[in-house]
Chain A
Amino acid sequence: MAWAGTGVLWTVGGGVLASRILSPSGAWAAEPSRGDFSFVQISDSHIGFNKPANTDVIGTLQQAIARINALPQAPDFILHTGDLTHLSEPEEFDTLDQLLKTAKTGQIFFVPGEHDVISDNGKEYMARHGKNTTDGGWFSFNQRGVHFIGLVNVLNIAEGGLGRLGEEQLAWLKDDVSSLSSSTPIVVFAHVPLWAIYPAWGWGTEDAERALGYLKGFGSVTVLNGHIHQTMKKVEGNVTFHTAMSTAFPQPKPGAAPKPGPMKVDPAILPKTLGITEVNYIEGNHSLALVDAALG
């Protein structure tokens, strides 16, 4: 099968936060890491999915991991932005865990997607990935001066499919950032986009504006999401929004189909639906440079 898996490599160094989709050719792998540290974002593995849009989601995740392992410098960690599984079955979580054990990285952080909590409100997910999080599954950590915040916006999905953070999590977020210097770079990651990409398809988070309000005072905020299975970017003031591709299957562009869902494309075309994205954030003047290019 043609390449379908992908990931986003993020580097942080010298005040510059940069990202690029891992390329199938390994071109990125040939370049040295430019940052003081780097991490990879992968998303929407949907282990257990078996429809025509991709009957080998294990294989494509393995390819994504191979790309990560081919990097000249192993990423310090991986962020998985949700939908690890398709039906939140224990065996699907098992499979994902086994696959990710082959990734050469220091640590893997997770936030759940709606598919990870769909049948049991997240019991299985939390048993596996909730050990170092709050009771609600959200958490934060620091990495060399950058503050990372993992949010959960899939446990209280609103009518119409919009994500929702909820009062408890919003209060926690407000407190979590209250003691940080305004110069601290912030990276927020959650499954459903925290900006209203296409509310008619549930591609947004109902109360994200309140969360972002707590981050207004910071000079550099980067928001990483999954869910929509395609790369999209937006810059709004001090905030850079970015969504990652899936390692499993693409979805239609917003409004380009009657409804969202797995999109079957010719395997030969599939790489062309994926792309290379570079995001360069210049701390201080808050400028952001975005570059997209197709993989195939």
Chain B
Amino acid sequence: MRPLPPVLRRLAPWTGALLAIYLTFNFGATGAGSSPAEKLTPAAGTPETPYSQSELVSAGRRLFLMNCAHCHASDATGDEGPDLHGVRKSEARLAALIENGVKGEMPKFGAKLSHTEVQALVAFIRSL
């Protein structure tokens, strides 16, 4: 099995401790948020997202519970934010919404989440 890159390895169900470490934010050490080094970028010559769909969905679910459930509810049926089941937006549009937010409605996560993490969230939303 291909080894997972750090960000998804931390998000794998069997590495909960590592997940906690990753998500513990240290203002002094990093300034704020994910450092550029933590932003996962696919290696040259590999596909844009070199992870299986199930890997992305699993990671996306955890990211969702950490970042999105507060407004969309833990079952994604919506609360302050809309129900995410059956959304018809394209994956590119969903990724843009996550990264850029909606003014006055939804935070922008582009400075917090890596491209792959956004893709994982999109995969999870698509799986609902």
Query: A residues touching B (Cβ–Cβ < 8 Å)?
Result: 48, 50-51, 87-89, 114, 117-124, 126, 130, 134-137, 155-157, 159-161, 164, 166, 168, 202, 259-262
Within 8 A of A (CB), among B87-116: 101, 104, 106-109, 111-112
Are B27 and A137 interface neighbours, CB within 8 A?
Answer: yes
B55 to chain A, nearest CB (A): 18
Across the interface, which residues of A come within 8 angstroms of B31, CB to CB? 123
* Separation of A159 and B70 alpha carbons in the complex (Å): 10
Is B23 in the interface zone, CB < 8 Å from A? yes
Residues from chain A with a CB closer than 8 A to the CB of B25 are: 117, 121-122, 155-156
- Closest A residue to B81 using CB positions: A261
Provide the bound-state CA to CA distance between A178 and B21, in Å.
Answer: 26
From B32, B69, B104, A161 is in contact (CB under 8 Å) with B69
**Which chain B positions have C-beta within 8 A of A121?**
25, 32-34, 112
CB distance from A84 to the nearest CB of B (A): 14
- Report, nearest first, the 7 A-B pairs whose CB atoms are least far apart: A135-B28, A123-B32, A119-B107, A121-B33, A261-B79, A155-B25, A121-B25
Chain A hits for B44, CB < 8 A: none
- Cα separation A136 to B29 with both chains bound (whole Å): 9
A-contact 0/1 string along B48-88, CB 8 Å cutoff: 00000000000000100111011101100001100000000
Q: In chain A, what residue has the closest Cβ to B80?
A: A261
CA distance A4 to B120 in the complex (A): 40
Shortest beta-carbon distance from B95 to chain A in Å? 16
In angstroms, how far is the closest chain A Cβ from the Cβ of B29?
Answer: 7
Pair B111/A136 contact, Cβ less than 8 Å: no
A141 to chain B, nearest CB (A): 19
Residues B24 and A166 in contact, CB atoms below 8 Å apart: yes
Q: Are B108 and A126 in contact (CB under 8 A)?
A: no
Q: State which of B32, B34, B65 has its C-beta within 8 Å of the C-beta of A160.
A: B65
Q: Is B41 an interface residue (CB 8 A)?
A: no
Contact at A88–B107, with CB atoms within 8 Å?
Answer: yes
B4 surroundings in chain A (CB, below 8 A):
none
- For B71, list chain A residues within 8 Å (CB): 261
Q: How far is the CA of A18 from the CA of B107 in the complex (A)?
A: 38
Shortest CB–CB separation between residue B113 and chain A, in angstroms?
A: 10
On chain B, the residues within 8 Å of A157 by CB distance are 23, 66, 70
A283 to B4, CA, bound (A): 56
Minimal beta-carbon separation of B102 from chain A (angstroms): 9
CA distance A79 to B62 in the complex (A): 33
Q: Contacts A87-B101, A157-B66, A159-B62 known; A118 to B26 CB distance under 8 Å?
A: no
Q: Are B111 and A114 in contact (CB under 8 A)?
A: no
**A130 lies within 8 A of B27 (CB):** yes
Once the chains bind, are A50 and B104 in contact (CB under 8 Å)? yes
Most buried by B among A121, A126, A164, A262: A121
